């Protein structure tokens, strides 16, 4: 999205939350950090004379998406969400859909398992009540302090990932089950393909439900909205 805006010469700014130590470089001016809630974001939109907002946050960044919708309504600025299609199970997939993190913890059961916990670092605390399992974590940044899961191994890596690499990761760590968020897109889908090939079950956390909003599935749709 940022590349398309830059190539089209659109006057735009790219906003990072600031949770990743070394974010991928972008071809647009960048701001980092929060806005101070709905009011702060609305004030920013007005002060910077923003005319359009593209919500390209992660599908599970629900609070930011809600804030953006409310702030745009307050500031009178149109908003569109660029949202990847969720993953859909196919032949050979053994997926269990759960509504939230608590559902994923419950779906793991009581018997100890070796779990590839592919949910990022923000929600690890949700699994602190299920310490009978051994967890494999894949994180973008190395942890700066103790993890809330004492029986865990952390792999530091940034996607996109390959099926070959994820198949080797799952095999080397003797993983029994994968827990993942239904983020969609190609960058992190490799683990699901590898799970299918290895016959491993997947516990997939459904996306949070958001209020109705304008949604685009492709960059081209967003560019058409901007110029229409």
The pLDDT of residue 18 is above 70: no
Q: How far apart are the first and last CA of the chain?
A: 17
pLDDT of 116 reads 98
**Beta pairing partners, 178:** 116, 202
For residues 201 and 178, what is the distance between their CA atoms, to the nearest angstrom? 7
- What backbone phi and psi angles, to 5 degrees, belong to 116? -85, 105
Q: Summarize pLDDT for 24-43 with one digit per residue, the tens.
A: 789 999 998 889 999 999 99
pLDDT of 3 reads 95
The pLDDT of residue 213 is above 70: yes
Closest CA to 224 of 77, 3, 8, 27: 8
The mean per-residue pLDDT over the stretch 56-75 comes to 94
pLDDT of 25 reads 85
β-pairing, 95-98 with 79-82? unpaired
Give domain limits for the chain: 2-84+209-227, 95-205
188/130: higher pLDDT: 130
Where does 36-159 have alpha helices with state H?
Answer: 37-47, 62-75, 101-108
Sign of the dihedral through C-alpha 119, 120, 126, 130: positive
Write down the pTM of the prediction: 0.86
pLDDT of 170 reads 98
**Helix and strand totals (H; E) in the chain:** 7, 11
pLDDT of 62 reads 92
The pLDDT of residue 214 is above 80: yes
pLDDT band, residue 19 (cuts 50/70/90) = low
Asked, as a colleague might, if the bond just before 110 is cis with ω within 30 of 0, I would say: no
Strand order in the sheet with 79-82: 53-55, 79-82, 215-216
Taking the mean position of all CA atoms in its chain, how far away is CA 39? 25
pLDDT of 185 reads 86
The pLDDT of residue 49 is above 70: yes
Q: Summarize pLDDT for 165-184 with one digit per residue, the tens.
A: 999 999 999 999 999 999 99
Report the mean per-residue pLDDT for the chain. 93
For residues 21 and 43, what is the distance between their CA atoms, to the nearest angstrom? 27
For residues 57 and 65, what is the distance between their CA atoms, to the nearest angstrom? 7
CB atoms within 10 A of CB 95: 19
pLDDT band, residue 21 (cuts 50/70/90) = low
**Fold topology of 95-205:** Rossmann fold (3.40.50)
Distances 93 to 35, 75, 197, 199 between C-alpha atoms, Å: 41, 45, 9, 8
Given a contact cutoff of 8 angstroms between Cβ atoms, the answer to whether 160 and 186 are in contact is yes
For residues 93 and 82, what is the distance between their CA atoms, to the nearest angstrom? 27
Given a contact cutoff of 8 angstroms between Cβ atoms, the answer to whether 59 and 84 are in contact is yes
The 3-state DSSP class for residue 222 equals helix
């Amino acid at each position: 999205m940022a590349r398309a805006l830059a190539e089209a010469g659109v006057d735009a700014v790219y906003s990072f939350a600031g949770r990743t130590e070394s974010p991928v470089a972008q071809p647009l001016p960048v701001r980092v950090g929060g806005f101070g809630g709905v009011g702060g974001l609305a004030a920013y939109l007005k002060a910077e004379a923003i005319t359009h907002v593209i919500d390209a946050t992660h599908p599970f960044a629900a609070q930011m998406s809600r804030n953006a919708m409310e702030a745009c309504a307050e500031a009178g600025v149109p908003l569109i969400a660029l949202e990847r299609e969720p993953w859909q199970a196919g032949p050979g997939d053994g997926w269990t859909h759960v509504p939230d993190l608590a559902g994923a913890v419950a779906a793991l059961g009581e018997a100890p398992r070796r779990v590839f916990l592919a949910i990022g670092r923000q929600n690890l605390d949700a699994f602190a009540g299920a310490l009978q399992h051994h967890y494999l974590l894949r994180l973008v940044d190395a942890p700066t302090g103790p993890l809330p899961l004492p029986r865990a191994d952390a792999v530091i890596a940034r996607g996109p990932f390959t099926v070959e690499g994820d198949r080797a990761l799952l095999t080397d760590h003797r993983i029994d089950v994968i827990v993942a968020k239904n983020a969609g897109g190609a960058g992190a889908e490799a683990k699901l393909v590898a799970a299918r090939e290895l016959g491993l079950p997947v516990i997939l956390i459904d996306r949070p439900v958001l209020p109705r909003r304008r949604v685009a599935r492709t960059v081209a749709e967003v560019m058409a909205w901007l110029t229409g």
